Structure 1
Amino acid sequence: MIRTGHFRESAETPLLSTVTPMAFLSCLHRFHQRHPWSHNDRYGPWIAGRVAASEARHVLDIGCGAGNLVALLRRRAVTVTGLEPDPGMARAAAKRFADDPAVTVVEADFAGRDPHRRFDAVTLVAVLHHLPLEPTLRELRHCLTPGGRLVVIGCYREAGRVDLLVSLLALLANPVMGLVKHPARAAALPLHMTAPTTAARETLADIRAAAARELPGARIRRRLFWRYSLVYDAPAERCPT
């Protein structure tokens, strides 16, 4: 069983401090504080769509935070279970869904889940880089029912010119999205954006290689705003391992 600490998304601009003037990054950070928007929430509808396309009935969201993705998943699934290790976030999510018996929020990390339960779909948003990569991918595979779907939006360590180019594009788009998503100045960050962050260790090449070994057939794409997506469909019938 994997033992972990808290998991949460990484810093929003992990590499560019080495190639962009610090004054510009500081200005961008202040702007983002005044017009906050979540890079992770941007992918929520996409994740819910991939889950719905798999016709999943019972879904596990690992690292559910305040429950933003859970709310989207609940519209498509019969039951949703959220795991959240941060006590404050877990309490907020539990309170949010207190009147919905189809939603269960458990204050636990990935290691604290029910190891015997399987789900039709499992989702992780900016969580995987907090966990040991290959062992976690292996255990995630075993969390799925036959034919189940894993959907990941993750963070990766930037390396190389392509990553740099995509990051520069994201830097240009970031303030525009801030004005669109949150045009009025915010007095404080929303709760779901206040959790601690950590930097990703693995590059996208590392993640592709690990997925090829542990999740054959997984589909991985580089995404904007320092993210990648991974979608894996378990075989309809389990193969011996």
Structure 2
Amino acid sequence: MLTELNRAHPWSHNDHYAGWVVRRVRESRARRVLDIGCGTGNLVARLRDHCAITGLERDPETAAVAAHRFRDDPAVRILPIDFADRDPETRWDAITLVAVLHHLPLDAALRALRDSLAPGGRLVVVGCHRDATVGDALTRLPAVLLNPIIGAVKHPARATEPPPHMRAPIAEPRETLAEIRAAAARALPGARIRRRLFWRYTLVYDDRV
């Protein structure tokens, strides 16, 4: 029953945290931002009023949608590549990833993200983790109950397919929140990680000059 309701009234858990991401980026006073896995550009659209932004999107169809969306915007550049294909010499004032980190090899990705920050830069992550503990179950229960209600409010008309910004390839998270915390402690000392609703966690790391 709940699964059918969720399919009929889809809404983006990632967009739900977009405002939080924008506030964290603005706090950092970043002028050049890299958004990894930018999708069709919903977060890019909210960030571009505050900074110049480059979006990476490895799914060709999704990248094409984003590129067309910002084709006349000098503050935005969309590249149809993966993070591994970036220019390794470029450094960014802020880097954002929303529901992307679990697609990457965790330890290596965290080190590469750290090394891609400019001095004093900020990493902002909204991530997905694998449920494994009682705490996960307790957080999951309200999310399960609230998900169809919010979907019905946001999109009362029944959908026959997901909207374009929810069609990019997905992957199930492999690491638990404890494993993510441990990896962050190794690569990003001082990172702040919080468990969040709707199967998400957040991470903020500031490079110390």
Question: What's the TM-score bracket when you normalise by the shorter of the two chains?
Answer: over 0.9
| 1:76 matches 2:50 | yes
Q: Once superposed, which parts of structure 1, at least 4 consecutive aligned residues long, lie more than 2 Å away?
A: none
| 1:46 correspondence with 2:20 | yes
CA distance in 1, matches of 2:176, 2:160: 35
Which SS does the other structure have where 1:40 is aligned?
A: helix
1:174 matches 2:156: no
Deviation at 1:146, TM superposition (A): 0.6
Matched with 1:124 is 97
1:97 to 54, 70, 78: 70
1:98 maps to amino acid:
R
Over residues 182-210 of structure 1, what are the superposed CA-to-partner deviations in whole Å (9 max), with x where a residue is unaligned?
Answer: 12222331111112221111100000001
- In the alignment, what sits opposite 2:3? 29
In structure 2, what is the Cα distance between the partners aligned to 1:188 and 1:135? 35
Listed as ranges, the gaps of 5+ residues in structure 2 are none
When normalised by structure 2's length, the TM-score is: 0.98
Report the equivalent of 2:135. 162
Aligned AA for 2:71? A
Q: Distance in 1 between matches of 2:67 and 2:127?
A: 24
Larger displacement relative to structure 2 (191-200 or 139-148): 191-200
Deviation at 1:221, TM superposition (A): 0.1
Quick check: 1:215 aligned with 2:188?
A: yes
Aligned-pair distance for 1:235? 1.0
**C-alpha displacement at 1:71, in angstroms?**
0.5
The secondary structure found in structure 2 opposite 1:147 is strand
Match of 1:185 among 158, 165, 181: 158
Equivalent pairs counted in the alignment come to: 209
Determine which of 22, 38, 42 is the counterpart of 1:64. Answer: 38
**Among the aligned pairs, what percent are the same residue?**
63
Q: 1:113 aligns with which of 75, 86, 102?
A: 86
Matched with 2:60 is 87
Aligned counterparts of 1:196 and 1:73: Cα–Cα separation in 2:
23
Gaps of 5+ in 1: 1-26, 237-241
The structure having more radius of gyration, on CA atoms, is 1
Contact 2:44 / 2:55 at 8 angstroms: preserved in 1?
A: yes
Q: Which amino acid aligns with 1:87?
A: P
Give the residue type in structure 1 aligned to 2:3.
H
What does the per-residue CA deviation read over 1:208-234, in whole Å, with 9 as the maximum and x for residues that have no partner?
Answer: 001011000000000000000000000
TM-score (norm 1): 0.85
